[in-house]
Amino acid sequence: MTDDSRNIEKVSDCVTVNSKSENTLCKGGRKKMLGGSFWISLLRNCMGAGLMLAVFLLLDRGRLPVKKAVSCYGLFGLLAAVVFSFWYMSDHENFVRFSGLLAIPAVGIFCIKMSGDT
């Protein structure tokens, strides 16, 4: 009973159903979020960190000259994206649960330390 419009593939404890809309179901009927390789995760994390840090950089008067501040923000953003991407690869379920909650305080603490107003 093979149907070309529907391809089912078992990956660990998840089942991927490829049809017009791709769905991935895991144990207990949960949908798997944020699929992809390390590189996709790194790209997604770089975009998130970059946008969040850009907002803080534009709104703040830093204690460092602009060139140094931009390079510090860039290095921190890249480091955070790499660390979050390794976390994504090592423990996917906890990453999905807690990465959003951890990203804001981590970036917030960095931005407070970089701020010239504190």
C-alpha dist (Å) from residue 81 to 11, 29, 88, 89, 103:
26, 30, 10, 12, 10
Query: Domain check: are 59 and 99 in the same one?
Result: yes
pLDDT at residue number 54: 86
Residue with tokens 């790499």, as numbered in its chain: 82
Query: Domain check: are 73 and 23 in the same one?
Result: no
Query: Domain check: are 28 and 42 in the same one?
Result: no
Query: Domain check: are 11 and 25 in the same one?
Result: yes
Query: Domain check: are 27 and 67 in the same one?
Result: no
Task: Count how many domains the chain has.
Answer: 2
Query: Domain check: are 107 and 60 in the same one?
Result: yes
Query: Domain check: are 26 and 49 in the same one?
Result: no
Per-residue pLDDT tens digits for 22-54: 445 455 555 555 567 778 878 888 888 888 888
Long-range pairs of 105-112 with CB within 8 A, sequence gap ≥ 24: 106/80, 107/49, 107/52, 107/53, 107/56, 107/80, 110/76, 111/53, 111/56, 111/60
Query: Domain check: are 61 and 100 in the same one?
Result: yes
Instruction: Give every residue of the chain whose pLDDT is below 70, as ranges.
Output: 1-35, 118
Query: Domain check: are 98 and 65 in the same one?
Result: yes
Determine the structural domain holding residue 26 and report its residue range.
Answer: 1-32
- What is the reported pTM? 0.63
Query: Domain check: are 77 and 94 in the same one?
Result: yes
Query: Domain check: are 54 and 83 in the same one?
Result: yes
